[in-house]
Amino acid sequence: QRAQSPFGNVAAVCVWPRFVALARRLLPPTIAVAAVANFPGGAMDVERAVADVRQIVTAGGNEVDVVLPYSALMHGGPQAAQACAAFLAEVRAACGALTLKVIIESGVLQTEILITQATNLALDAGADFVKTSTGKTPVSATPQAAAVMLKTIAASGKAAVGFKASGGIRTVSDAQTYLELVTDVWGPAAI
């Protein structure tokens, strides 16, 4: 009911994989059902992530929000980056035509180098959106991380890839900061 307001419907309702069928049944077809995979910890467990995705696909979901194995990326060196790329490739394949949002957990990655690397891994895997965070860590979305992500997406030349700021954005004023960043980096048409 809260997804449908006099001001318009939300774009999607995000649920755990086990609730996708119920959400799809209760929501009008104009509201997408998104579900999380490898959430919230972002373990390097591709079998679990792919199982989550298959459950989402089978239940009629429209979107998958997968958590990049950010801890492995932070601590594992070049081999970890390759493992993350392989992880995301398998998740992308399991998604089929569903929208894939890759959550990089930018508040934990913190450095521009790691945020850029995680964003590029998501882009290279065919993500439709790169998302800041799960909202389950002490630091979620920040304007600084968002700027790095937006610039990295712009530099990739993949104009169809979206950006999603998530975690800790509670007010219109909070959201305005991110809208202004998108306008500054991608231009007003991107909004």
- Mark whether 164 is an active-site residue: yes
Q: Where are the alpha helices (DSSP H) in 27-169?
A: 46-58, 70-75, 77-95, 106-109, 112-124, 143-156
- The single residue of 52, 151, 164, 174 carrying the catalytic annotation is 164
Strands 12-15 and 8-9: unpaired
Planar angle of CA 79, 149, 172, nearest 5 degrees: 140
| Residue 108 confidence (pLDDT) | 97
The predicted-structure confidence for 101-158, as pLDDT tens digits, reads as follows: 999 999 999 999 999 999 999 999 999 999 999 999 999 999 999 999 999 999 999 9
- Mark whether 158 is an active-site residue: no
- The single residue of 45, 52, 65, 151 carrying the catalytic annotation is 65
Does pTM top 0.75 for this prediction? yes
| Residue 78 confidence (pLDDT) | 86
> Which two tokens mark 6?
């006099």
The predicted-structure confidence for 41-62, as pLDDT tens digits, reads as follows: 999 999 999 999 999 999 999 9
| Residue 172 confidence (pLDDT) | 95
CA–CA gap between residue 142 and residue 187 (Å, rounded): 20
- Mark whether 101 is an active-site residue: no
